[in-house]
Structure 1
Amino acid sequence: MAKLPDVDSAYALTSPDEIKDLYRQWSHSYDVGFGESQGYQLPREVAAAFVGAGGEGPVLDVGAGTGLVGEVLRVMNTEPIDGIDLSQEMLDMAAMKGIYRHLVVCDVTEPLDLRDAPYNGVVSAGTFTLGHVGPSAIHNLIDVAATGAVFVLSVNQAHYATGGFEAVFEDLGAQISALQFRDVRIYDDRADEVHRNDIARLVIFTKS
């Protein structure tokens, strides 16, 4: 029997093709088999930080997946929301929820050509993590944001420490303002013992 997708298999990914294959397999069970069973609270943390920082729509949800961040943003009356992701199958599940204005398959490591840019806000939960996307993609997100746009990007703490994120944010210099960080748990106490205390760093800033 093939091993079911899980956190460890996601962290071990090494290429876009592997990412697409894993999330194709995971798409139908992701919300319940992962989101609920692991107590995946990072989408709520990202959405709350965005609204708390004065973020408003239209907002781009980067690595939207099945729409977990979008669900919280809609409850918080933040719309319209567009979503992008590398996985068509994950976006198909998000589309069924009726949350998003537009959903587009694209690779954030490449320049983004989005018809509704620029956005007033950019959010991301779980995309900048081990085995997924590195810091170079942040420049592509800056390019599709309006002046004054609020960003809340979660970065797995281990990935932040080893992936070169600190240097990228320093290099952005005057392109961004009001830069702040907040460390939050990715999962609640329902998570397995190995990942229960995994931490994400929320990077919060405004495009100057």
Structure 2
Amino acid sequence: MSDKTLDSAYSIAGPEDCLRIYGEWAHTYDDDFAAGMDYRLPALVGAAFLAAGGEGPVLDVGAGTGLLAVALTSMGFRDEIDGLDLSPAMLARAGEKGLYRSLLQADITRPLPRNGAYQGVVSSGTFTHGHVGPEALPHLFATALPEAVFALSVNAAVWVSLGFDRAMKGLPGLTLSEVPVYGEAAARQGAAHAGDRAVIAVFRRP
């Protein structure tokens, strides 16, 4: 895993930059990044969603190559999952796993398709350095049915600086847990981001 690659992702400057970086990264993402860094966040988000009684159909926001869908299905989840991402290249890799009902290419800072369609909304790794701030939340809320369960990760380093603490304050049933993003493999290789942590926010649709 190259720290330079992750640093590039953390310094994305707009949608075109995002499309370029993830387009280049898509074919090595699972082996180079997820396995190489022992990327635990998708499984932790999936577990938090299921612990909160999450049901489908589910929208996986920032689905990437489908790691959160892999985690959910490995935990016995059998309801329908749709994957949404800005990067067509990442979605193509996600589609190869055969776990999604459908794949949607969209920018979550803009109004999204299929409003009022989901009983659950999950996201791992999308709300982080250089990516998306809380301005996307109203668009995600609009996709969900009343009382839908949300489980969203936010990189702990941007939780306050980007205003997620304020944006999520008072959401119905809100619980917050701080978790490690990576496992021991990242530390063994001396990765600069090995100690990164994330906040997993679980709540009901407001």
Question: TM-score under structure 1 normalisation?
Answer: 0.93
Determine the structure 2 residue equivalent to 1:80.
Answer: 80
Determine the structure 2 residue equivalent to 1:91.
Answer: 91
After the TM superposition, which residues 32-181 of structure 1 pair with which residues of structure 2 at under 5 Å, given as runs?
32-78=31-77, 79-114=79-114, 117-170=116-169, 173=170, 176-181=171-176
Percent identity (aligned): 45
1:76 Cα offset (Å): 2.3
Instruction: Give, as a single letter, the amino acid of the residue that structure 1 aligns with 2:181.
Output: I
Contact persistence 2:3–2:191 (CA under 8 A)? no
Determine the structure 2 residue equivalent to 1:200.
Answer: 198
Provide, for residues 152-193 of structure 1, a one-character-per-residue CA deviation record: whole Å limited to 9, x for no partner: 0000011112001112113xx4xx311010000000011134
Question: Quick one: distance in 1 between partners of 2:158 and 2:147?
Answer: 27
Question: Quick one: distance in 2 between partners of 1:206 and 1:37?
Answer: 34
Q: Secondary structure at the match of 1:158?
A: helix
Aligned residues: 201
Question: Quick one: distance in 2 between partners of 1:4 and 1:165?
Answer: 26
Question: Aligned pair 1:190/2:185, yes or no?
Answer: yes
1:114 Cα offset (Å): 2.2
Question: Quick one: distance in 2 between partners of 1:188 and 1:112?
Answer: 33
1:5 Cα offset (Å): 6.1
Provide, for residues 101-153 of structure 1, a one-character-per-residue CA deviation record: whole Å limited to 9, x for no partner: 000100000011127x4201000000000000000101110111111111000
Where structure 2 has 5 or more consecutive residues not aligned to the other structure, the ranges are none
Give the superposed CA RMSD: 1.5
Provide, for residues 74-93 of structure 1, a one-character-per-residue CA deviation record: whole Å limited to 9, x for no partner: 12232200010000000000
Provide, for residues 29-63 of structure 1, a one-character-per-residue CA deviation record: whole Å limited to 9, x for no partner: 00000000011110000001100111011100000
Q: Secondary structure at the match of 2:98?
A: coil
Contact persistence 1:5–1:22 (CA under 8 A)? no
Determine the structure 1 residue equivalent to 2:15.
Answer: 16
Contact persistence 1:5–1:25 (CA under 8 A)? no
1:4 Cα offset (Å): 8.9
Where structure 1 has 5 or more consecutive residues not aligned to the other structure, the ranges are none
Contact persistence 1:55–1:150 (CA under 8 A)? yes
Question: TM-score under structure 2 normalisation?
Answer: 0.93
Question: Quick one: distance in 2 between partners of 1:207 and 1:157?
Answer: 22
Question: Quick one: distance in 1 between partners of 2:111 and 2:174?
Answer: 23
Question: Quick one: distance in 2 between partners of 1:37 and 1:193?
Answer: 10
Determine the structure 2 residue equivalent to 1:6.
Answer: 5
